[in-house]
């Protein structure tokens, strides 16, 4: 039996932000994640946009925390070695009605405290994004893009170095009330804590119910994306959204540039029953491409290199008109349970302000003393492709493995793969290598580097082919040797 | 009896017709004399070159590519594959080295198709 | 950072690059042959089946044997320095080549460059098969590498999508190595592979080939469990009432090859839609003087013999460019009836040239005709043409065209 002051359930952006924030204090904290790595759910399957906060209802937690998060995002990315680019965003209107909606957005943004919003005419829009459809746009200067995998992973790894214990492959299956706290049971272990933080995303309703608070219901709402080749980055240089229309259930199908230069198309919004239904559908992918072509007529199909699905954890059911704000509070039914529920978009942007609120809730109940071990700054493995030639040469002189490029599309070196395989979290699936380094995410989708990565995994981890994990522990992508 | 075949001795892929006549098999459609021989062989006793790999120790890769030095009977392919499963060798190996000799009904040799140097330690 | 100079830098040590290096060295050039892997041979090393080299060597060799013959010549040749474990990341229009190697970053200043960089495989994402993202979905070449070189098994029951030669050859390889191959599916109404491969790879083992049929969806959360397949009509639209599911743990995709164009792009060269690569003249020189291209990085070939021939052409002219020889202006080749593309895209006047082309539609008893100013300059009978089989002819030197262009048709 392991005893903690705080247990965080869920290793998404929010759970990891809470872990990082609490590592500032002299608390014994554990984070439990059901997957083999963090950022395996919604946190890694979204548009990777740092939102400005003009889409959210004034006065809501969403609005307040999004604007707060946006203003501090660049700084945290700098501290934690996370890619970030302040590229701004365009919300494009196609007719007078759209332009009216855009004027409304500027007003909402003003009320929410967003900085840098302006309406621009077609000429100015064309100057910013040549070849774009539409009659005018709202330009949001403070919108940015990031790498949500590295954001989440680095928050978690920094928290670990600060003393937070992180346990992967631990799916919570039972929570028992204890005098002055909880016993949290997984398939293999039991953990005890005084305060339980429910950052379980899509499953936050289930975790709350296990702890004795059964008032919540999460309605999963899928969004599919197409991924375009980095060649598409010559066509657009910042996220391009259509003017939002009511009842769409999301922000509308948009084009988003990513840190790597790929362009994303998506997402649609479709309520589903199965929280694990990540399959894409042929008709939806067709529709996404057609809508993206309206925004950017020069897009061609041969740019498509991949696809994925993310699932929003919505508090509002299909067809309901009411507004579902973030729930960030200590349960009034179960003292010691802090619920973070309904954290959908802009949850990535708002994750650290949400974590700050959690720390404040805990601080109201007990004195929080500083933790001398806290790691305010963190650096992951050096990203070879982002270095100058001189710096690359110096890296190779230190370690010749930097001179061996394994993933050619994304210029990922053997040295980076070896370091990622020995990450602090102990995550070592093919997908966790991909999420950390972008290896296999390029235009050949791992065609060239998959065998090389598999060989490195066998060599570095000392395992046989059948012991390699694809996405989850023990999922066995390879049955063994050929002979 | 009339049968259609595709000659695979070269990429021309001649479409052959073989007919049984009183004077033996008559082949049509071949653009070179080798096509006629091929058609007769294919009908009477089809043969294939076996290509595969065997385990190798101490080389850049764990497998060494090999082939039969002559075609084998088609029905021998799978039994010979089974035999190759238990074969192991050690680098260095030169292309053309005999890995197994005189196997199968046709007593073919299995030869290496690639030169594999012994792996330098640390590389 | 290390800097070196050479007459001709050849990028890529596969069949095209080795042939280019040899022919450049034969012209007296000092050649740097840059290869990203440990050994030469490129993709041929994983093509352990036979069928290579009938035109060039008059015998059927396996891929490693074909590569080995060239590698031996390279090792014996005067004037070729092989730089292995070196990945070229950028080529400048000024003939600078930037390499990453375990010994450090290296910049090579060459008088001429031959790009022999090969191609990559079209993926599941590129053809947008919907469904889950499970393990067990491989392009044919990746599967081939894992099975033939790495000794890693990929599954027990496979479906193959795409009837190109690589797909057919993988059907046989998987069968021989103990994997059950359920079927090969081809979206087009005709098989894209050579007839001999249909016989040796499918019929020999009783593997069915279904034409006008494709995979529409993948199922299975972590590992592939099922593919959904469906007939397609002549326009490529799916016919829902023909849908069925096939249980399998492996899907092999052999759905096309795409030339590598990153280095061409870095040198500022355009990429044309039909070949997915850059246009060249009959010396295989690109629009940037002194940069030559050949092999599957220039356009996707069916036969390695042709790749080697292109390499020899590019290497020879790169060496001559390095020695100061310059090509004049060239005559554009226009695609006429039933011609999808030609390579080269322009012809140098008065010089013989190897012309490769692909047709748009299958046809029998055709004539390839080259016209200039309305006159027939060259013609050749072709008994059978299909889009999957490249047509290759030697053209005599063409001079005195008033209109400044020629047209190639298959009619």
Distance in angstroms (rounded) separating the CA atoms of residues C197 and C173: 12
Tell me, what's the pLDDT at A1? Answer: 63
A331, A337 in Cβ contact below 8 A? Answer: yes
First to last CA, chain B: 61
Distance in angstroms (rounded) separating the CA atoms of residues A331 and A209: 11
Tell me, what's the pLDDT at A250? Answer: 64
User: DSSP class of residue C223?
Assistant: B
Chain length of chain C: 411
Distance in angstroms (rounded) separating the CA atoms of residues A149 and A40: 8
Q: What is the pTM of this model?
A: 0.95
Q: Residue C282 has which token pair?
A: 């009959």
**Closest-CA residue to A182 (of A191, A171, A172):** A191
pLDDT, tens only, A12-29: 999 999 999 999 999 999
SS3 state of residue A240: strand
Tell me, what's the pLDDT at C231? Answer: 98
- Name the residue of chain A whose CA is nearest to B63's CA: A483
Cβ of residue B119 closer than 8 Å to a chain A Cβ: no
The crossing angle, in degrees rounded to 10, of helices A347-365 and A13-22 is 40
First to last CA, chain C: 56
Q: Which chain B residues have a beta carbon less than 8 Å from that of A404? A: none
C203's CB contacts (< 8 A; 6+ apart) are none
User: Which residue bears the tokens 């950072």?
Assistant: C1
C321, C290 in Cβ contact below 8 A? Answer: yes
Tell me, what's the pLDDT at A248? Answer: 58
- Name the residue of chain B whose CA is nearest to A400's CA: B123
User: DSSP class of residue A426?
Assistant: -
Is it true that the peptide bond before A346 is cis, omega within 30 degrees of 0? yes
Q: Which chain A residues have a beta carbon less than 8 Å from that of B85? A: 483
pLDDT of A249 > 60? The answer is: no
The active-site residue out of A51, A154, A254, A428 is A51
Q: What distance in Å separates residue A265's CA from the closest CA in chain C? A: 13
Q: Residue B27 has which token pair?
A: 């082949």
Distance in angstroms (rounded) separating the CA atoms of residues A237 and A235: 7
- Which among C54, C196, C303 has the least Cβ separation from residue B6? C196
**Closest-CA residue to A284 (of C237, C128, C127):** C128
Average pLDDT rounded to a whole number, residues A250-278: 91
**Closest-CA residue to C188 (of C215, C159, C212):** C212
Interface residues of B toward C, Cβ cutoff 8 Å, are 5-11, 13, 15, 48-49, 51-53, 55, 60-63, 65, 67, 74, 77-78, 81, 95, 113-115, 123
Cβ of residue A272 closer than 8 Å to a chain C Cβ: no
Cβ of residue A479 closer than 8 Å to a chain C Cβ: yes
Distance in angstroms (rounded) separating the CA atoms of residues A409 and B82: 38
Per-residue confidence in pLDDT tens, chain B, 123 aa: 788 888 877 767 788 898 888 888 888 888 888 888 888 888 889 999 999 999 999 999 999 999 999 999 999 999 999 999 999 999 999 999 999 999 999 899 999 999 999 987 544
Q: Which chain B residues have a beta carbon less than 8 Å from that of A452? A: none
Q: What distance in Å separates residue C294's CA from the closest CA in chain A? A: 20
The burial class, CB within 10 Å (0-12 / 13-18 / 19+), for B40 is middle
Q: Which chain C residues have a beta carbon less than 8 Å from that of A444? A: 120-121, 123
A123's CB contacts (< 8 A; 6+ apart) are none
Mutant choice from C196, C206, C209 vs B, greatest count of B C-beta within 10 A: C196
Would you call C62 and B113 a contact, using CB atoms and an 8 Å cutoff? yes
Cβ of residue A1 closer than 8 Å to a chain C Cβ: no
- Which among A226, A280, A392 has the least Cβ separation from residue C131? A280
CA distances (Å), origin C410, targets A280, C369, C400: 42, 6, 23
A216, A201 in Cβ contact below 8 A? Answer: no
Q: Which chain A residues have a beta carbon less than 8 Å from that of C218? A: 279
Instruction: Answer yes or no: A64 catalytic.
Output: no
Q: How does A224-241 read in b/e, with b if 16+ C-beta sit within 10 Å?
A: bbbbbbbbbeebbbbbbb
Q: What distance in Å separates residue B67's CA from the closest CA in chain A? A: 16
Q: Residue C335 has which token pair?
A: 């695609």
Mutant choice from B31, B35, B48, B67 vs C, greatest count of C C-beta within 10 A: B67
Tell me, what's the pLDDT at A122? Answer: 95
**Closest-CA residue to A140 (of A106, A85, A89, A177):** A89
Mode of pairing for the β-strands spanning A181-186 and A190-198: antiparallel
Tell me, what's the pLDDT at B123? Answer: 41
Average pLDDT rounded to a whole number, residues A325-336: 97
Distance in angstroms (rounded) separating the CA atoms of residues C391 and C380: 11
Q: What is the mean pLDDT of each run of 10 residues along chain C (411 residues)?
A: 96 98 98 96 97 89 98 97 97 98 98 98 94 96 98 98 96 97 96 89 96 97 96 92 97 96 96 93 98 98 95 98 96 96 96 96 95 94 90 92 93 94
Would you call C152 and A282 a contact, using CB atoms and an 8 Å cutoff? no
C155's CB contacts (< 8 A; 6+ apart) are A479, C136, C179, C224, C248, C249, C250
Q: Residue A470 has which token pair?
A: 């694809």
- Name the residue of chain A whose CA is nearest to C100's CA: A403
C8, C312 in Cβ contact below 8 A? Answer: no
Q: Give the Cβ contact number of residue A26 at 10 Å.
A: 15
CATH 3.10.530.10 positions along chain B are 51-112
The burial class, CB within 10 Å (0-12 / 13-18 / 19+), for A245 is exposed
State residue A307 phi and psi, 5-degree precision. -160, 155
CA atoms C172, C174, C178, C182: torsion sign: negative
State residue C172 phi and psi, 5-degree precision. -70, -45
What CATH class is the domain B51-112? Answer: alpha beta
What is the ipTM, given to two decimal places?
0.95
∠ at Cα A439 (A18, C114), nearest 5°?
150
- Which among A276, A447, A481 has the least Cβ separation from residue C151? A481
């Amino acid at each position: 039996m392991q005893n903690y002051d705080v247990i965080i359930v869920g290793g998404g952006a929010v759970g990891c932000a809470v872990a990082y924030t609490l590592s500032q204090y002299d608390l014994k904290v554990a984070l439990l994640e059901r997957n083999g790595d963090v950022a395996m759910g919604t946190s890694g399957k979204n548009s990777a946009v740092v939102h400005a906060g003009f889409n959210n209802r004034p006065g809501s937690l969403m609005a307040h925390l999004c604007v707060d998060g946006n203003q501090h995002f660049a700084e945290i990315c700098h501290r934690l070695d996370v890619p970030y680019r302040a590229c701004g965003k365009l919300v494009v209107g196609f007719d007078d009605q759209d332009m009216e909606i855009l004027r409304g957005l500027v007003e909402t943004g003003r009320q929410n405290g967003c900085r840098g919003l302006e309406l621009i005419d077609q000429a100015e829009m064309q100057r910013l994004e040549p070849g774009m459809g539409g009659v005018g746009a709202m330009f949001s200067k403070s919108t940015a893009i990031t790498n949500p995998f590295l954001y989440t992973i680095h928050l978690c790894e920094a928290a670990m170095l600060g003393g937070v214990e992180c346990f992967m492959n631990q799916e919570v299956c039972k929570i028992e009330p204890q005098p002055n706290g909880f016993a949290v049971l997984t398939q293999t272990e039991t953990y005890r804590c005084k305060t339980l933080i429910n950052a379980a995303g899509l499953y936050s309703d289930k975790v709350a119910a296990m702890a004795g608070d059964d008032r919540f219901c999460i309605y999963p709402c899928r969004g599919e994306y197409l991924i375009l080749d980095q060649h598409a980055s010559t066509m657009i240089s910042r996220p391009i959204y259509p003017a939002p229309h009511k009842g769409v259930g999301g922000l509308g199908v948009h084009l988003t540039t990513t840190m790597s230069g790929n362009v994303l198309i998506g997402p649609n919004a479709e309520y589903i029953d199965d929280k694990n239904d990540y399959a894409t559908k042929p008709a939806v992918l067709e529709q996404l491409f057609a809508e993206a072509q309206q925004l950017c007529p020069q897009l061609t199909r041969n740019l498509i290199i991949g696809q994925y699905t993310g699932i929003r954890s919505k508090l509002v059911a299909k067809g309901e008109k009411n507004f579902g704000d973030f729930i960030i509070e200590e349960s009034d039914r179960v003292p010691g349970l802090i619920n973070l529920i309904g954290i959908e978009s802009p949850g990535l942007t708002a994750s650290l302000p949400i974590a700050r609120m959690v720390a404040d809730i805990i601080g109201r109940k007990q004195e929080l003393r500083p933790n001398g071990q806290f790691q305010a700054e963190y650096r992951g493995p050096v990203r070879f492709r982002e270095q100058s030639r001189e710096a690359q040469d110096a890296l190779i002189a230190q370690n010749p493995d930097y001179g061996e490029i394994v993933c050619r599309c994304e210029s990922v070196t053997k040295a980076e793969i070896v370091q990622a395989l020995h990450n602090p979290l102990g995550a070592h699936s093919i997908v966790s290598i991909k999420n950390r380094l972008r290896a296999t995410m390029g235009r050949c989708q791992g065609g060239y580097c998959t065998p090389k990565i598999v060989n490195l995994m066998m060599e570095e981890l000392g395992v046989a082919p059948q012991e390699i994990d694809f996405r989850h522990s023990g999922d066995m992508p390879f049955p063994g040797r050929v002979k | 009896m009339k049968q259609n075949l595709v000659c695979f001795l070269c990429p021309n892929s001649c479409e052959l017709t073989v007919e049984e006549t009183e004077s033996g098999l008559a082949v049509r459609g071949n653009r070179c004399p080798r096509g006629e021989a091929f058609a007769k062989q294919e009908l009477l006793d089809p043969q294939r070159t076996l290509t595969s790999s065997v385990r190798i120790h101490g080389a850049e890769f764990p497998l060494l590519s090999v082939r039969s030095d002559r075609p084998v009977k088609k029905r021998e392919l799978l039994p010979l594959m089974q035999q190759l499963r238990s074969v192991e060798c050690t680098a260095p190996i030169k292309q053309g080295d005999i890995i197994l000799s005189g196997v199968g009904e046709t007593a073919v040799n299995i030869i290496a198709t690639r030169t594999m140097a012994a792996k330098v330690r640390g590389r | 950072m290390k800097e070196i100079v050479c007459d001709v830098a050849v990028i890529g040590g596969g069949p095209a690059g080795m042939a280019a290096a040899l022919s450049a060295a034969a012209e007296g050039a000092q050649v740097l042959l840059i290869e990203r892997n440990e050994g030469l041979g490129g993709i041929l090393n994983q093509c352990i089946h036979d069928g290579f080299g009938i035109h060039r060597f008059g015998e059927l060799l396996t891929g490693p044997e074909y590569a080995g013959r060239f590698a031996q010549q390279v090792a014996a040749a005067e004037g070729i320095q092989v730089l292995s474990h070196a990945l070229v990341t950028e080529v400048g229009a000024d003939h600078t080549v930037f390499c990453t190697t375990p010994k450090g970053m290296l910049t090579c200043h060459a008088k001429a460059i031959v790009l022999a960089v090969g191609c990559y495989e079209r993926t599941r994402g590129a053809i947008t098969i919907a469904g889950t993202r499970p393990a067990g979905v491989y392009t044919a070449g990746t599967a081939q590498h894992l099975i033939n070189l790495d000794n890693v098994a990929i599954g027990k029951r496979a479906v193959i999508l795409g009837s190109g030669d690589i797909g057919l050859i993988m059907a046989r390889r998987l069968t021989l190595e103990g994997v059950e191959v359920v079927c090969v599916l081809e979206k087009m109404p005709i098989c894209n592979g050579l007839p001999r491969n249909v016989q040796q790879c499918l019929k020999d083992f009783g593997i069915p080939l279904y034409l006008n049929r494709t995979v529409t969806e993948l199922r299975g959360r972590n590992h592939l469990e099922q593919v959904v397949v469906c007939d397609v009509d002549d326009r490529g639209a799916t016919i829902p009432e023909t849908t069925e599911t096939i249980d399998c743990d492996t899907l092999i995709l052999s759905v096309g090859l795409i030339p590598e164009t990153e280095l061409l792009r870095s040198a500022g060269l355009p990429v044309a839609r039909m070949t997915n690569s850059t246009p060249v003249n009959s010396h295989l020189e690109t629009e940037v003087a002194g940069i030559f291209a050949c092999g599957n990085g220039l356009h996707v070939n069916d036969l390695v013999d042709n790749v080697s021939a292109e390499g020899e052409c590019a290497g020879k002219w790169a060496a001559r460019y390095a020695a100061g020889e310059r090509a004049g202006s060239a005559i554009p080749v226009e695609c006429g009836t039933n011609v999808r593309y030609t390579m080269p895209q322009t012809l140098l006047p008065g010089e013989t040239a190897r012309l490769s082309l692909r047709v748009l539609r299958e046809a029998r008893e055709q004539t390839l005709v080259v016209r200039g100013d309305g006159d027939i300059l060259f013609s050749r009978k072709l008994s059978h043409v299909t889009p999957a089989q490249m047509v290759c002819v030697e053209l005599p030197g063409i001079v005195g065209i008033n209109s400044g262009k020629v047209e190639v048709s298959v009619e």
